[in-house]
Amino acid sequence: MTKEQQDTILRTNTALFIRNVCHTLKDMANADFMIDKKSPVNTPPTFRNGLTVISHFSGRIQGDFIFSTDEITASKIAAVYPHGAALAAVIVHRGTYSGLMCEAMNISAHHSLEDLERNFGALTLLPPAWIYGEYHSADYISGIGFISGKCGMVVCSLCLNLVGLQIGKKTEQARQQR
């Protein structure tokens, strides 16, 4: 697969994931988000926000769907934010807003995975995991985009590890040489 093909797949699927996150948050929490015009950007993500949700998938390729936001934004999305409250008053609602954000990831990732499966065959999506604090992604090709609304901003990312394609190609070449 050429670098241009990789970039096209990354851009297309990152944009799809970002749109799916917007639609899912609207459907689940009636939270309107708009996609930043700069999205998606091809850059390795580092997340320094308060809540990062990750859903890993594997098969012929591997990767991660990731989104991240501060905990106040997450609590506003989940409609549990006590108006004007500081973070200390918000974290008592972690179970509510992290649960909603994990389910939003689960739905968004499943909808986004369908397009990747058309290109790469069956992929297994693992349940979302979440982290409070800083998260550094592995150094794979990555697309990143931003959505914002009245609740705040969410950073969305798709990381792809396409090494499995090269291994599969080399394995097939070795079989043909036998």
pTM of the model: 0.89
In angstroms, the CA 69 to CA 152 distance is 8
Judged against a pLDDT cut of 80, whether residue 26 lies above it is answered with: yes
Strand runs (DSSP E) across the chain, as ranges?
A: 34-35, 41-42, 46-47, 51-59, 62-69, 123-125, 129-132, 135-136, 141-149, 152-161
Q: What average pLDDT does the segment 43-47 reach?
A: 73
Fold of 3-170: Chemotaxis protein chec (3.40.1550)
Give the count of beta carbons closer than 10 Å to the beta carbon of residue 13. Answer: 21
In angstroms, the CA 36 to CA 44 distance is 18
Buried b (16+ CB within 10 A) or exposed e, 120-146: beebebeebebbeeebebeebbbbbbb
Q: How confident is the model at residue 3, as a pLDDT?
A: 85
* CA-based nearest residue to 95, from 113, 71, 117: 71
Q: How confident is the model at residue 176, as a pLDDT?
A: 65
Q: For residue range 93-111, list pLDDT tens digits in order.
A: 999 999 999 999 999 999 9
Domain extent listing, the chain: 3-170
* CA-based nearest residue to 14, from 119, 133, 146, 131: 146
Q: What radius of gyration, in Å, describes the C-alpha atoms of the chain? A: 17
